[in-house]
Chain A
Amino acid sequence: MLAKINSYGLAGLSGYKIDVEVDINLGLPGYDVVGLPDAAVKESKERVHSAIKNSLLTFPKHKITVNLAPANTKKEGPSFDLAIAVSILVASEQVKQKAASEYVMLGELGLDGKIKSVRGILPLLISAREKGYTKFIIPAENRPEASYITGVTVYAMENLSDVVSLLNGTKTFEAVKNRTWHIDNTYAAEDFSRVKGQHAVKRAMEIAVSGGHNILLSGPPGAGKTMLARCVPGILPDLTFEEALEITKIHSIAGVLDPDKGVVTSRPFRAPHHTATNVSLIGGGRDSKPGEVSLAHNGVLFLDEMPEYSRSCVEALRQPLEDGVVTVARASATYEYPANFILVASMNPCPCGNYGSKDLTCTCSMSQINKYLKKISGPILDRIDIKVDVDRVAFLDLTQESNEESSSEVKKRVDKAREIQRKRFEGTHVYCNAKMTSKQVKEFCKLDQTSEQLLKVAFERFNMSARGYTRILKVARTIADLDGEQNILPKHIAEAINYRTTEKN
C-alpha cells in the first residue's frame, strides 16, 4: 500500500516541505531510500526498523521503498526518521492515513522508539505555518522552542508508540501550551560599576551601543579592555520579540540554542577565539551553517586582540559590516543569513603591547609597530566609527573607593537614545544611526554654520579622510540623541571628533 506523510527540511533560514512517501510491495524484504538522501537519512533504515519493533509494532517483511520528494534536493540529517516510521506504519495499515496526513512530523528516532530532538525546529515551524500547516508532531525535547509560536497545534511527543496512539485516537495528549515571552537581563558578565575610572572609554561605549556603532579599544595588556567589552551586554537595549525570534531561528539552525529556554531571551555576545577560521566566523561548511557573525545577529561580536585574527577572517567581515547580512555560497546551496551586530574589537598598540604606555617600555621597533597596526586594513577601520584608547589605571586609583555609575543607569540613557532613533527611522529598514544611508545622513545630520566651520578646521588639522566625515556625522547624531537634542550642536561634533579612527604614530 502507498502512504504519504508531510515533513519539513531546512534550507538556510527557512524550511521547505518534504513529502515522505512509502510504498510496500511484494517481493524480497528490503528497504530503499530515494530522493537524494545523505548518509544520516540512509541509516534511518536501522533506526526505524528497531524503533518500530521495540515499540511493539510490526515492521513489514516486504520490499519497502521510501521516497523523499522533491527528489532533486539533497536531504540531510536524521529529522525525517519519525515521518518515515509513521509512513511505514500507515503503508502497513497500522496507522490511519487520514489522521496522519494532517500533521507535519519532525524527529529523530532512537532504537528504543524514543523521539530525539532535532535542530532548527523554530524556523521549520515558522515557515510551515506560513504555508498553512497548523498541526505538528515534534520531539518532546523541542517543546520549549515551539511554545513561543502562536496559531499552531504542536504535539511534543516522547516516543513512537505515543505518536501511534495519538494518530489512532487511542489516547489523548495535550498540545504544547503557548508561553509568554520575557526578556532576561541578568546575564551581563561584568557591570560598569565594577570598572574603576575609564570614564572616556565608558562614554565611548555608551555612544557606540546607543547608535549601533562599531568600536575599537586600543591599549596595553592589562588595561581592562576585555573587562570593558564584557560590560557591553549590560547596556544593550532590550530585545523585542521579533528580534528574539530572528536570533532564535539562527541559533536553532546552528544547534546552539539552550534547550530549556527554547528561545533567545538576551542579546547574543559572541567572542570567538582569534584562531577562528573563516568558516566558523562567516558561516559555511558542508551544510552551509551560520557562523559567529550570524550568531551575533542583533547583539555583539567581540574580537579580542583583533590583529591576531587571520587577515582573511577580518577582511571577510566587510560584507556583514556593510550590509548586515552574509551570503554563504557553497556547492550545495547559497544561503543568506542576517548578521547585524555591533563589532567590539580590542587591540594592543604594538606587538609587545606597551607602546605609548606611561610607565612601561616598548621593546618593538617602529617597523614592527607599523606592521602590526597594518594588520587591520583601511576598509575595516573605515567601518569602525569609534576608536578609543584604554590605559592602565594606576594602583592608587584602583584602591580608592569611588562611586561608579552602574550599567543599568547607562542602559536607561541608551534606551532613550534608541527610542529616538526608532521613531526617526520608522518605516525604513534602518534602525540605528550607524546604519544610516548617505541620503539619511544628509537629511538627519544637518549642521549649523558653527558646527560646519568646526568640522572644517578639524579636518585640516587632523588630516581626516572623506569617509571619516560621514562617520563623525553619524557619531555626532548619536551623541545629540543621547543629549535629547533635535539638532547637532558644535559640542556634539567636537566630542565625535574625539573618537575618530585615524592617524597612527
Chain B
Amino acid sequence: MYNKNELAILYLDKLELSYKKFGELLSSLESASEIFEKKGQDKLSLFAKPSAVEFLTRHSYEQIEEYVTKDLEKFNIFAVTICSSAYPEILKNISDPPYVLYTIGDISLLSRQKIGVVGTRKITTYGRDVANKFTRELSQAGLVTVSGLSYGVDTCCAKSTLEAGGKTIAVLAGGLDNIYPADNLALSQKIAKTGLLVSEYRPFVRPKQYSFLARNRIISGLSDGVLVVEAGRHSGATSTANFAIEQGRELFVVPGNINSPQSEGTNDLINEMPDCFTISTSQILTRLGVQTQTDQKTKTVQLDFFSQQIVDYLKNGEAHFDSICAALAVNASELSSALTMLEIMGVVNKNAGNYYSLAM
C-alpha cells in the first residue's frame, strides 16, 4: 500500500523528532528508504534515540510495516507523505511543509483548486451571514473550501459547503482519532464522507496550543486563496492571513462593523492592504481565475402580500419581532407563523433575541 520511501517517512514521523531535525535527517539521506539499510541507520543514530535504530535492525520490513500502519488502519486513515504523488504541489512550496498529511476521506480534493475560509470562533449574525453566503457561492462555483473545524466561521463554512453540495477540507490540530472540538464530531463524520479531514499529526496526538497556529499554515498552504470573514485583533484568523501573505497566497478580507470587536482584525487587514478588500464572491473568482458560469440561477419565490410586506420592511435591515409587529399592525401569532414560513423558504433568518433579517 505504501512504498518504501513513504513507509520510512511514516516510521520517522513516529519518532517525535522536531520539525527541524526531521528536515536535517531527510536531507542527509539520499532517499528516505535508506534508513532500512545500514548506511541510513548510521545517519539516523545521529538524530534519534538508539532504540529507534535498534527497532529497525531487529525487525523485518513486514513487521515494521505493520507497526507503522496498524494505527492508521484502525482509524481508516490514509497517510500522504511529502514524497507521495498525492501530496499537493501547492503545499510543497511553503517554507515549512508538513512531512506527512494524515487524511480521512477523498484525497483527490488535495489537487483541486481550494479556498481557505477563516474567522472568529465567536461569530456574529453578520459573520454567519457572510460566511454562509461566500462559502455557498464559492463551493457552487466549484472551489473546495478549507477550514479548521473549529467553532464559528469554521463550522459555518463546513456546514454551508455541505448544504450546497460542495466539497470541503477540514484541517485539524490534533490526531484524527480525536476530533477537537468534540461538538463538531458529527460534522467531521459528514465531512469524511464527501470531503476530507487532514492533519499533520498522527493518531493519538492531542492538540496543543501551538498546534493550532501550526495548523493555520496548512490551511493557507493548501489553499490558492484565503478568505477572512470576521476576525478579532491577534486572532488565529489574522495569523492565517499572515501565513497566506508569507506563502504568496491571494488574501480576501471582508470588512465588518467598525464597532464590533469581531471585526477589528479584518478591518486592520484592509487598512494595511487595501487590495484584499472583498465584498463579493465574483472578486474572489476573478482573482483566482475561476470560470464563472453566467447562468447563475436566481431563486425566485412567490410571496403573498403579507409576506412581501414583511420582506419589504426587513429591507431596511434587521428588525425585532415587536417592531415588525408594530409597523405592520398585525398580531403576534400571524406574524410568527408568517416569519417561520419565510424562514423555511430561506428568505428570512431568525437571529438571537427575536431579531429577524433577510437572508443574503
Which residues on A are within 8 Å of B, measured CB to CB? 197-203, 219-220, 349, 355-358, 361-362, 365-367, 370, 388-393, 397, 454, 457-458, 461, 479, 482-483, 490-492, 494-495, 497-498, 505
Contact call A366/B344, Cβ cutoff below 8 A:
no
Please choose the segment from B9-17, B87-95, B318-326 that sits at the chain A interface, where 4 or more of its residues have CB less than 8 A away: B318-326
Contact call B333/A495, Cβ cutoff below 8 A:
yes
Contact call B151/A358, Cβ cutoff below 8 A:
no
Q: Which of A358, A365, A389, A495 counts the most chain B CB atoms within 10 A?
A: A495
Contact call A366/B151, Cβ cutoff below 8 A:
yes
Q: Among the listed B151, B155, B336, B355, which residue makes an inter-chain contact with A391, where contact means beta carbons less than 8 Å apart?
A: B355
Residues in A with CB closer than 8 Å to B121 are: 365-366
Interface residues of B in 305-360 (CB under 8 A from A): 320-322, 325, 331-341, 343-344, 346, 350-355
Contact call B353/A494, Cβ cutoff below 8 A:
no
Contact call B352/A389, Cβ cutoff below 8 A:
yes
Contact call B340/A397, Cβ cutoff below 8 A:
no
Contact call A356/B352, Cβ cutoff below 8 A:
yes
Chain B residue nearest in CB terms to A350 = B122
Instruction: Please classify the interface of chain A as helix (H, G, I), strand (E, B), loop, or mixed, using the class held by over half of its residues.
Output: helix
Q: Separation in Å of the A221 CB from the closest CB of chain B?
A: 13
Q: How far is the CA of A483 from the CA of B332 in the complex (A)?
A: 13
Q: Separation in Å of the B354 CB from the closest CB of chain A?
A: 5
List 17 contacting pairs A-B, 8 Å CB cutoff, sorted by A.
A198-B322, A199-B322, A199-B325, A201-B354, A349-B352, A355-B352, A366-B121, A366-B151, A370-B183, A391-B320, A454-B344, A482-B333, A492-B337, A498-B339, A498-B340, A498-B343, A505-B151
Contact call B341/A494, Cβ cutoff below 8 A:
yes
Contact call A390/B353, Cβ cutoff below 8 A:
yes
Contact call B336/A498, Cβ cutoff below 8 A:
yes
Contact call A497/B344, Cβ cutoff below 8 A:
yes
Chain B residue nearest in CB terms to A197 = B322
Q: Which of B183, B337, B351 counts the most chain A CB atoms within 10 A?
A: B337
Contact call A397/B352, Cβ cutoff below 8 A:
no
Residues in A with CB closer than 8 Å to B40 are: none
Q: How far is the CA of A355 from the CA of B261 in the complex (A)?
A: 13
Q: Separation in Å of the A196 CB from the closest CB of chain B?
A: 9
Q: How far is the CA of A505 from the CA of B152 in the complex (A)?
A: 8
Residues in A with CB closer than 8 Å to B351 are: 356
Contact call A494/B340, Cβ cutoff below 8 A:
yes
Q: Separation in Å of the B248 CB from the closest CB of chain A?
A: 31
Interface string of B150-169 (1 = CB under 8 A from A): 01100100000000000000
Residues in B with CB closer than 8 Å to A198 are: 322
Q: Among the listed A201, A390, A483, A497, which residue makes an inter-chain contact with B340, where contact means beta carbons less than 8 Å apart?
A: A497
Q: How far is the CA of A203 from the CA of B339 in the complex (A)?
A: 14
Contact call B344/A200, Cβ cutoff below 8 A:
no
Q: Is B274 interfacial (CB-CB < 8 Å)?
A: no
> Beyond A494-B337, A498-B339, is A389–B354 a contact (Cβ under 8 Å)?
yes
Residues in A with CB closer than 8 Å to B338 are: 491, 494
Q: Which of B261, B331, B344, B346 counts the most chain A CB atoms within 10 A?
A: B344
Residues in A with CB closer than 8 Å to B340 are: 458, 494-495, 497-498
Contact call A203/B332, Cβ cutoff below 8 A:
yes
**Across the A-B interface, the 4 shortest Cβ-Cβ residue pairs:** A356-B352, A391-B353, A203-B332, A495-B337
Interface string of B213-242 (1 = CB under 8 A from A): 000000000000000000000000000000
Contact call B353/A389, Cβ cutoff below 8 A:
yes
Q: How far is the CA of A433 from the CA of B84 in the complex (A)?
A: 63
Q: How far is the CA of A498 from the CA of B152 in the complex (A)?
A: 23
